[in-house]
Amino acid sequence: MLIRFAAEKDLPAWYALATEVSPIFRHPADMGTDPEFIAYAKSKVSKYEALTAVDYMSGDNLGFIGFSRTYNRITWFGVSGKGRGKGVGSRLLKTALRQLDHTKPITVETYPEGYEPGIPAKNLYRKYGFVETESNLIGPHDLPICRMTVDLSSEKRGGSFHY
């Protein structure tokens, strides 16, 4: 599997993944056709703030992660059903964290405690040191979310972009 910056040619696969994960994200419709999401994905690609995991054999995109260098946070994260449980999410998150500023806290807004479809994501964030710092927040579509934060200031930096 290759982790690389997402490119314009990857957008259709990202939209398809967004459609697949819409129910998990609790999106009221098809996220992959939502004009707001499409604009978000195009913006992330143009700013080199999105990574994709690509299967070497098939060339399929197995997952995407968007992040913000400006706000030092993970902004979107999804892995396809065929990529789950194979380390795709772990490699995407680890590589995205390398793109962010370790001298400041890194945040992600994610599912609230008790939301069963969100347990794998929260467990992955915890594996990388994230802890819940704010709960009972209201996110998109007036749904409950929480904020998780990690402090990587003591982590070593450097090395190759590729993992």
Instruction: Please tell me the number of Cα atoms within 13 Å of 61 on its side-chain side.
Output: 23
DSSP one-letter code for 111: P
Compute the radius of gyration of the chain from its Cα atoms: 15
Q: Does the pLDDT of residue 100 top 80, yes or no?
A: yes
Burial of 150 (0-12, 13-18, 19+ CB in 10 A): buried
Distance, first Cα to last Cα, the chain: 10
What mean pLDDT value characterizes the chain? 90
Distance CA 105, CA 47 (A): 21
Is CATH 1.10.3720.10 what the domain over 2-150 is classified as, yes or no? no
Distance CA 92, CA 86 (A): 12
Give pTM, 2 decimals. 0.90
Q: Binning pLDDT at 50, 70 and 90, where does residue 75 land?
A: very high
Q: Binning pLDDT at 50, 70 and 90, where does residue 157 land?
A: low
Distance CA 56, CA 28 (A): 34
pLDDT tens sequence across 10-46: 999 999 999 999 998 888 889 999 999 999 999 999 9
Per cent of the chain over pLDDT 70 is 94
Decide if 3 contacts 48 (C-beta within 8 A): no
Domain ranges across the chain: 2-150
